[in-house]
Amino acid sequence: MERIYLDNNATTLVDPAVREAMDPFYCHMYGNPNSLHSFGIEVRPYLHRAMEQLYRGIEADDEDDIIINSCATEGNNTVIMGMYFSLLKETRKKRIVTTQLEHPSIREACRFLEAQGVKVTYLAPNRDGLITAEMVAEVVSDKTALVSVMWANNETGLIQPMKEISDVCRERGVYLHTDAVQTIGKVKVSVKEVPVDFLTFSAHKFHGPKGVGGLYLRKGVVLPPLLHGGEQMGGHRAGTVDVAGMVAMGKAMELAVSALEYENREVRRLRDKLEDALLQHKDVMVVGDRNLRTPNTVYVSIRGVEGEAMIWDLNQHGIAASTGSACASESLEASPILTAIGADRELAHTGVRLSLSRFTTETEIDFTIGVIDKAIVRLRQLSTSY
């Protein structure tokens, strides 16, 4: 059996069709799109097409902007820092409302602004792991510059009610940002149906390459750039655009959107099969209602089994999973996200995240179930607390 990859919320395999689309831009069409000679001119139609694929993918309007950047961490920081220089620093609007569920690229950026005098409210989710529109409505005031709520969570897969939250923000005239990194290709993302002002995405989470991402800006919103020094991206982000990356992200977006139906039927079926098998064991808990989660994610707590021990055991059998987000994998701290949803100490330390993709097969899931079944029995026998 080849190795099995069930850590798709950390990163994904590059779809072979995406790889094929980006390949010509390394050794053949390697011109700088801002150059006036033929090498530059010949790549421009490909960038144009990639932009069209991205606009179509999230149902953006022609007059909106999509800034191509290096990753979601950059996109999230661009929004938070940009808001500081456009509103928070100089006007009466001195507040940001965000949540305790956010990725560190939002959380740490907000902490940095707190040190500059910005007031940040970190909304706690309810017991279901959700941030409701009412919670947002309760804390937003005329001093709020920005609301930032992640669309789907990277650890639990829980999907937030973004439409209702966007209704509140529109009504109150407050900018809304959403980190949609874990949502593209899993749930329909339409900025027409869910009118947000800023939206972050990252190609490597939907079968594109690492090192390229996008930030959507609604028409008319003002956001100073994070990177200065050139007119690329209409002045929104200086620096030569990663041509191969952008072409790849466009193709990956197109494929992700066309695979949505498969994701919601087949990937969900395999995820549910795995989840049902886990729940056959006693003292096993899955975080969040499966119908409120992205179809590929299950976050499970197995009493008496340390998350790290299970990951190690799975890895011995060639199966890749994680205890939570990859960027915190070396920390022994309890997951801030699980703590936020009220998990007790044990749950926050016994969590295992299994995340599938459209490349996951039934044979892989069956094999994984067999390995986990045996691991639970063995690791519990070794446990002093179970």
110 included as an active-site residue:
no
Distance in Å, CB of 157 to ligand C6P, minimum: 11
Provide the 10 A C-beta neighbour count for residue 62: 7
Dmax over CA atoms of the chain, in Å, equals: 70
Distance in Å, CB of 117 to ligand C6P, minimum: 26
Exactly one of 50, 66, 97, 103 binds ligand C6P (CB under 6 A); that residue is 103
What is d(CA 244, CA 124) in angstroms, rounded to the nearest whole number? 40
- Applying CB under 6 A, the site for ligand C6P has a residue count of 17
**202 counts as binding ligand C6P under rule CB under 6 A:** yes
**213 counts as binding ligand C6P under rule CB under 6 A:** yes
Considering beta carbons, is residue 73 or 360 the nearer one to ligand C6P? 73
Write out the DSSP string of 255-266: HHHHTHHHIIII
Least Cα distance to 337 among 50, 131, 87 occurs for 131
Identify which range of 83-91, 130-138, 174-182, 338-346 contacts ligand C6P by CB under 6 A.
174-182
**368 counts as binding ligand C6P under rule CB under 6 A:** no
Exactly one of 71, 162, 176, 354 binds ligand C6P (CB under 6 A); that residue is 71
**154 counts as binding ligand C6P under rule CB under 6 A:** yes
Distance in Å, CB of 282 to ligand C6P, minimum: 29
**181 counts as binding ligand C6P under rule CB under 6 A:** yes
- 265 alpha carbon, distance to own chain's centre: 21
Measured on CA atoms in the order 22, 12, 10, 250, is the torsion positive or negative?
A: positive
Identify which range of 50-58, 70-78, 110-118, 219-227 contacts ligand C6P by CB under 6 A.
70-78
Give start and end residues of each alpha helix (H) in 12-66. 16-22, 24-27, 38-58
Distance in Å, CB of 185 to ligand C6P, minimum: 13
Q: Which of residues 23-52 bind ligand C6P (CB under 6 A)?
A: none
Contact 8, 355 (CB under 8 A): yes
Three-state secondary structure string covering 323-350: CCCHHHCCCCCCCHHHHHCCCCHHHHHH
Considering beta carbons, is residue 79 or 168 the nearer one to ligand C6P? 79
Contact 242, 220 (CB under 8 A): no
- Residue 143 phi, psi (nearest 5): -95, -5
Q: Which of residues 310-349 bind ligand C6P (CB under 6 A)?
A: 325-327
DSSP 116: T
- 202 alpha carbon, distance to own chain's centre: 7
- Residue 287 phi, psi (nearest 5): -85, 125
Distance in Å, CB of 50 to ligand C6P, minimum: 17
Distance in Å, CB of 154 to ligand C6P, minimum: 3
Distance in Å, CB of 331 to ligand C6P, minimum: 11
Contacts of 125 (CB under 8 A, 6+ apart): 99, 100, 101, 131, 340, 341
Exactly one of 73, 98, 297, 368 binds ligand C6P (CB under 6 A); that residue is 73
**179 counts as binding ligand C6P under rule CB under 6 A:** yes
Identify which range of 124-132, 179-187, 274-282, 311-319 contacts ligand C6P by CB under 6 A.
179-187
Identify which range of 141-149, 178-186, 253-261, 335-343 contacts ligand C6P by CB under 6 A.
178-186
Exactly one of 160, 178, 182, 335 binds ligand C6P (CB under 6 A); that residue is 182
Place of tokens 């990194």: 181
Considering beta carbons, is residue 10 or 372 the nearer one to ligand C6P? 10
**69 counts as binding ligand C6P under rule CB under 6 A:** no
Distance in Å, CB of 163 to ligand C6P, minimum: 19
Q: Which amino acid is at 273?
A: K
Exactly one of 22, 60, 72, 123 binds ligand C6P (CB under 6 A); that residue is 72
Measured at the CA of 185, the angle between CA 314 and CA 100, to 5 degrees, comes to 70
**Strand ranges (E), 258-384:** 284-286, 297-302, 319-320, 351-355
Least Cα distance to 310 among 6, 2, 1 occurs for 6
Q: Which amino acid is at 39?
A: F
What are the catalytic residues? 327
Query: Which residues contact ligand C6P by CB under 6 A?
Result: 9-10, 71-73, 103, 105, 150, 154, 179, 181-182, 202, 213, 325-327
